Amino acid sequence: MELSEQELVRRQSLQAMRDLGIDPYPAAEYVVTGYSTDIKADFENWDGKPVRIAGRLMSKRIMGKASFIELQDSKGRIQVYVSRDDIQAPVAEGEQPTTIEQQMYNVVFKKLLDIGDFIGIEGFVFRTQMGEISVHAKKLTVLAKSLKPLPIVKYKDGVAYDGFNDPEQRYRQRYVDLVVNEGVKDTFLKRATILRTMRQVFDEAGYTEVETPILQQIAGGASARPFITHHNTLDVDMYLRIATELYLKRLIVGGFEGVYEIGRNFRNEGMDRSHNPEFTCMELYVQYKDYNWMMTFTEQLLEKIAIAVNGTTKVQIGDHEVDFKAPYRRLPILDAIKEKTGLDLASMDEDAIRLEAKKLGVEDTEHMGRGKLIDEIFGETCEGAFIQPTFITDYPVEMSPLTKMHRSKPGLTERFELMVNGKELANAYSELNDPIDQYNRFVEQMKLADKGDDEAMVIDQDFMRALEYGMPPTSGIGIGIDRLAILMTGQPTIQEVLLFPTMKPEA
C-alpha cells in the first residue's frame, strides 16, 4: 500500500504518541456531559459550568501559549480554547519536559494532533471577548488517531470551495461526506424522523409491525424482475423479495387487524436518479377497509410526516413548492389521460390503444396487454405533470392483478397511485379476496409472460390456498420510503437519501 506524505507523517505521529506512553486508541469509556448545539442553545444555563465534550478536531489555530480549535461532535461544532498553562504541567526552569503531562501542549497538542483526530476535552463553558460561545479546556484526552487526512471544505463569504463534491466519491465514501459536508447528516436525521413518525401513527392506530421473508421461493406481490440466488442445503433457486404483499396478506387471513412492514425490497432493474436495485418500502394492510378509506388515511399520514420533518406541510422541491396538507385531488387514470392528451382510451380496444401508444413514442408495444399499454401512455404523457399530491385512481383490471374489481365501473379496479412532484410515491388497493377471481387473474398474468412480459406475476399456490381459507375485506398500501425521503428533504436524487447507494465496482 503506497502512502501519501501526509499519511506517513500521521503514522510517525502515531508512533511518537505510543513512545510517550499515550494509547492513541484507548478502550476506556469517555463520559460526555454536553454537546455543541445544546451548549450554544442554552448558554445561560451552561455559562461557567464544567463540561466534558468529545469529537473530531476540525481546525487548529496555534498562537504561542494559547490556541483555538474547532471540535465537531455528533450534533455540530464548538470552539475550544486551549492554554499551555492549563493542560501542560509546569516544568522547572532549565529542565526539559519528560512526562506526558509536561509535554501535553508543546509536543502532543501542537505537533502530534492532526485534523480529524478524535479528542476529549474537559473544562468549562464561557464566552470569548469576541462573543463566541466556547469551552475552556482544562484537560485533553486523545481518543482516536486519524491516519488519513480529511478533505477539509473551506469557506469564503459563506461559499464553500475546495470541497468534497464529486458525487461518486461522496456516495462511495459516505463516512467522509458526513464529516465534511454540511447538511448531509441532517438529510438522514430527517429520514429517521419520517420512519419514526410513520411507526408512531401505525402503532397508535393499533397496527402491528411484522417481519416477512426476504428469501422467497416465488417472487410475488409486484410486477418486477427479481434477483435470483441459490440455497445450497435445499438445492433450490430462491429470489430476493420484490414486495412484501403476499406474506402480509397471509397474516390478515390469520386474524391480524392491521399489519405493516418497513424493509428492503430488491428489483433487478435499472439504476438512475430515482431508482436503486435495493430500496426501502413500507406496506400496510388493514382489514375491513377499502381504497377510499386508505386515501384519507394516507393524506393524513403524509401531512403529519411533513410537519414532523419540516415543521410545515410545505416543502420546496427544486423549483416547486409541494404542499402535503390534506385533502388531495382524486382523479381516475383514464380521465387523467384524457385531460392531458384528449384521448378517450375507455372506448378503445387493445389494438387501437397500441396504435396510439406508438404514435406517442412508446416502444416495444407488441408484448404489452391493454393495461400495460395504458400504464405506459400515462407514464409518457401524464405522470410528470402531477406536482401537487394527486391520487390517480380506478386502474384497468389488466394493470392490477391483486386488486378488487370496481364496485360500479366495469373493467376497472379499486386502486390508486399517489403522484407527487411527477413521480409515483404510493400504490394501494381494495385488496382482491375472491380466490377464484384471483386465480383467473394469475392465469391472465401467465399469458402476458408467454407474450414476453418478463415482469408478469406467477401463481403463488400457497397464497391461493391462504385466500381459500378466507380473507376479510382489506385495503393495502405500499409507500416508497426512499422517494418519500427525497420529497420531504427536497433532495434531487435517490442517491442523496441512501447512506450507501449501489455503485459500480471501483476500477
pLDDT average, residue stretch 20-28: 95
For residue 110, give its domain range.
Answer: 5-150
Beta bridge partners of 321: 316
Task: Evaluate if residue 153 carries a pLDDT over 90.
Answer: no
* Dist CA 449 CA 455 (whole Å): 7
- Percent of the chain at pLDDT above 90? 83
The pTM score is 0.91
| Mean pLDDT of the residues in the chain | 93
Whether residue 279 sits in one domain with residue 199: yes
Task: Evaluate if residue 374 carries a pLDDT over 70.
Answer: yes
In a domain, 266, yes or no: yes
Q: Is 353 exposed, middle or buried (0-12, 13-18, 19+ CB in 10 A)?
A: buried
DSSP of 171-202 = HHTHHHHHHHSTTHHHHHHHHHHHHHHHHHHH
In a domain, 370, yes or no: no
pLDDT of residue 304: 98
In a domain, 341, yes or no: no
Whether residue 128 sits in one domain with residue 203: no
Of 268, 222, 211, 214, the C-alpha closest to 460 is 222
* Dist CA 121 CA 53 (whole Å): 5
* Dist CA 46 CA 35 (whole Å): 11
Whether residue 236 sits in one domain with residue 118: no
Whether residue 412 sits in one domain with residue 278: yes
Beta bridge partners of 331: 392
Q: What CATH number corresponds to the domain at position 231? A: 3.30.930.10
**pLDDT by residue (tens digit) across 3-15?**
999 999 999 999 9
**pLDDT by residue (tens digit) across 35-54?**
999 999 999 999 999 999 99
Buried b (16+ CB within 10 A) or exposed e, 99-123: eeebbbbebbbeebbbbbbbbbbbb
Whether residue 443 sits in one domain with residue 309: yes
Grid cell 471501483 — which residue?
506
Lowest mean pLDDT among 17-21, 381-385, 409-413, 444-448: 444-448
Q: Is 363 exposed, middle or buried (0-12, 13-18, 19+ CB in 10 A)?
A: exposed
Q: What CATH number corresponds to the domain at position 71? A: 2.40.50.140
Whether residue 46 sits in one domain with residue 101: yes
pLDDT of residue 365: 76
* Dist CA 416 CA 373 (whole Å): 17
